[in-house]
Amino acid sequence: MLLEVKDINVYYGVIHAIKNVSFEVNQGEIVALIGANGAGKTSIMHTISGLIRSRSGSIHFDGKDISKVASHKIPGLGLVQVPEGRHVFTEMTVLENLEMGAYLRKDKENIQKDLEKVFKRFSRLEERKNQLAGTLSGGEQQMLAMGRALMSKPSLLLLDEPSMGLSPILVNEIFDIIKSINKDGVTVLLVEQNANKALSIADRAYVLETGNVIVSGQAKEVADNPKVKEAYLG
């Protein structure tokens, strides 16, 4: 098991946003967390990456309890988040953004090789490597945010709504890339409102509703669940 989230509870003032949520991600898997707006997906991501704290429970990554580790130390452990809305450095070039992804690495000699790999995977980024990131299209910024995360050599990649705001063709492209990143050995936790797409590439899935996990299982089983079909698959 690479990530084990156990009984976490998140509050915003009196709002109990995450209620006793538990789930796990095994090495090599793609796991999807799906749910409607406000279900609590982003709150869970932020709790894992240390941006907000759970009042109880635990979060173990690679056997280590990270629930009290400072958020800026978490990427160095191999757990890297691509946040919703991408957050690329808009005033820096594509290349500079990618280099920023590698700033914590100690194996400096391999960085160039990994940069070439990122450019191979995202050819649009190579074509635009000297362009300011703020001038990229939404899909290109998503690719850059993913490429930057890969430059830090994560063992677990947290992707928060990678399909948001993208055209259907680009959504397919991004999901194909997620699959190929996973094939290359990166474990993926994917948060998505686009349940159809997320379930089509995930091994397992958890469905969230108002801060609770209401259904979980193999992605195929979840996709066949009548309740999920009616509420999330249209």
* Site membership for ligand ATP, residue 142 (CB under 6 A): no
Quick one: 25 or 39, whose CB is closer to ligand ATP?
39
CB of 191 to ligand ATP, least distance (A): 7
Q: How far apart are CA 77 and CA 84, in angstroms?
A: 21
Which positions from 165 through 224 interact with ligand ATP, judged by CB under 6 A? Answer: 193
* Site membership for ligand ATP, residue 40 (CB under 6 A): yes
Residue 37: burial class (beta carbons within 10 Å; 0-12, 13-18, 19+): exposed
* Site membership for ligand ATP, residue 49 (CB under 6 A): no
Quick one: 13 or 226, whose CB is closer to ligand ATP?
13
Q: How far apart are CA 33 and CA 197, in angstroms?
A: 12
Q: Which stretch binds ligand ATP (CB under 6 A): 12-20, 114-122, 176-184, 223-231?
A: 12-20
CA distances 143 to 146, 159, 176, Å, are 5, 12, 12
* Site membership for ligand ATP, residue 42 (CB under 6 A): yes
In the chain, where does DSSP find H-type helix? 41-48, 94-101, 111-121, 123-127, 138-150, 168-183, 195-201, 219-224, 226-228
Q: How far apart are CA 92 and CA 100, in angstroms?
A: 10
* Site membership for ligand ATP, residue 37 (CB under 6 A): yes
- Among 2, 21, 25, 39, the residue binding ligand ATP under the rule CB under 6 A is 39
Q: How far apart are CA 154 and CA 157, in angstroms?
A: 6
Encoded amino acid at 60, one letter: H
Q: How far apart are CA 201 and CA 219, in angstroms?
A: 8
Q: Which stretch binds ligand ATP (CB under 6 A): 34-42, 68-76, 141-149, 216-224?
A: 34-42
CB of 100 to ligand ATP, least distance (A): 25
Q: Which stretch binds ligand ATP (CB under 6 A): 39-47, 60-68, 136-144, 168-176?
A: 39-47
Which positions from 103 through 122 interact with ligand ATP, judged by CB under 6 A? Answer: none
Q: How far apart are CA 81 and CA 149, in angstroms?
A: 7
* Site membership for ligand ATP, residue 35 (CB under 6 A): yes
Count, residues near ligand ATP per rule CB under 6 A: 12
Q: ∠ CA 100-139-30 to the nearest 5 degrees? A: 80
CB of 167 to ligand ATP, least distance (A): 19
Quick one: 10 or 88, whose CB is closer to ligand ATP?
10
Q: How far apart are CA 187 and CA 30, in angstroms?
A: 6
Which residues contact ligand ATP (rule: CB under 6 A)? Answer: 12, 15, 17, 35, 37-43, 193
